[in-house]
Amino acid sequence: MKRRAFLRVLTAAGAGALVGGTSLGLHERLRIAVTRATLSVKGLPSAFSGFRIALLTDLHRSGLVPADLIADAVAVTMRERPDLIVLCGDYVTQFDTRFAGPVAEVLGPLSAPAGVVAVLGNHDDERVVPTALAHRGIRVLREDRLRLNIGGDAVDFIGIGYWTQRAAKIAPLIESAAVPILVAHDPRRLTEAHALKIPLVLSGHTHGGQVVLPPLGPLNRFRFPIVAGSLRRDDTLLFVSRGIGTIYLPVRINCPPEVAILTLA
């Protein structure tokens, strides 16, 4: 086959794959998966062994992300009956606070014995979104921590904002802390957590890449230490969720939305 004809065939095949992949991606974005992982946390008190956390992140309620998708994620979460629910930011897209009340309303049914805690993401404003979440009984950790006690043992969940990006800013939050677990929207906070010897970081932000093209992998794979799942750096373990919603295009390819159910060990 001549080179010009070969390039025409290759272009047509690529266009067909793109169209087909986009069509499948429109449906995949609505099929929520449950990801289960056991996280080995250095220094975890024995009373917390088996403690189960549901992690939801990157809801991005908008014209591209319907309320029904988030409601499905809430229903999946409640069927799992976790001990604690952690929300890891980006409840709306591009600071569109019109959706702050609606997304908080859909999240309203979330409940767990240890409560529901949240941090803010880079798409969330500092006033309307946290207020809407708080009205639904969700505790927003803004450079703050939640201490949980079981049988005399304690763990501190420390929540930071997206723009808290220096170890010196995080260090005061872990002073006098029990075993600290950092909840940070951006997984790049692994660097600071490792420097501070924080044993576990829970994050989102990456969408798992949102579009994962074999053999290339996630399109954003070079920006983050990992875009989905677990990564250990010495005694610090990072877990990153693929999240629920989408941005820019209502498509997920080889990267379904997820509710992560994490068991501490």
Q: What is the pTM of this model?
A: 0.90
- Per-residue confidence (pLDDT) for residue 24, from 0 to 100: 66
Q: How far apart are CA 113 and CA 52, in angstroms?
A: 11
- Per-residue confidence (pLDDT) for residue 3, from 0 to 100: 35
Which stretches of the chain score pLDDT less than 70? 1-24
- Per-residue confidence (pLDDT) for residue 106, from 0 to 100: 98
- Per-residue confidence (pLDDT) for residue 16, from 0 to 100: 37
Q: Is domain 31-264 in CATH 3.60.21.10, yes or no?
A: yes
Q: How many angstroms separate the most distant Cα atoms in the chain?
A: 76
Contacts of 215 (CB under 8 A, 6+ apart): none
pLDDT in tens, 151-169: 999 999 999 999 999 999 9
- Per-residue confidence (pLDDT) for residue 79, from 0 to 100: 98
DSSP 224-260: SS-SSEEEEETTEEEEE---S--SSSS--BS---EEE
Q: How far apart are CA 146 and CA 241, in angstroms?
A: 21
pLDDT in tens, 59-85: 999 999 999 999 999 999 999 999 999
- Per-residue confidence (pLDDT) for residue 25, from 0 to 100: 74
